Amino acid sequence: MNRTRTHFSLVVGALLLGATLAGGVAGAVAAPHSALSNRQEFHDDMRKLWEDHITWTRLAIVAFAADLDDLGPTLDRLLQNQDDIGAAVAPFYGEAAGDALAGLLREHIDGAVAVLVAARDNPAGLDDALDAWYVNGEEIADFLHEANPRFWPGEELRQMMRHHLDLTLAEATARLQGDFVADIAAYEEVHIQILEMADMLSSGIIRQFPSKFAG
Number of separate domains in the chain? 1
> Are the C-beta atoms of residues 87 and 49 closer than 8 Å to each other?
no
The predicted-structure confidence for 151-176, as pLDDT tens digits, reads as follows 999 999 999 999 999 999 999 999 99
Mean pLDDT of the chain: 87
> Are the C-beta atoms of residues 206 and 88 closer than 8 Å to each other?
no
> Are the C-beta atoms of residues 92 and 32 closer than 8 Å to each other?
no
Angle made by CA atoms 164, 166, 171, in degrees to the nearest 5:
95
Angstrom CA distances, 28 to 33, 98, 106, 205, stand at 11, 9, 18, 16
Q: Domain span at residue 205?
A: 3-19+26-212
Q: For 137-149, what is the mean pLDDT?
A: 98
- CA 75 – CA 168 distance, rounded (Å): 16
The predicted-structure confidence for 184-203, as pLDDT tens digits, reads as follows 999 999 999 999 999 999 99
The predicted-structure confidence for 72-116, as pLDDT tens digits, reads as follows 999 999 999 999 999 999 999 999 999 999 999 999 999 999 999
Angstrom CA distances, 113 to 61, 156, 169, stand at 9, 26, 11
pLDDT band at 12 (very low <50, low <70, confident <90, very high): very low
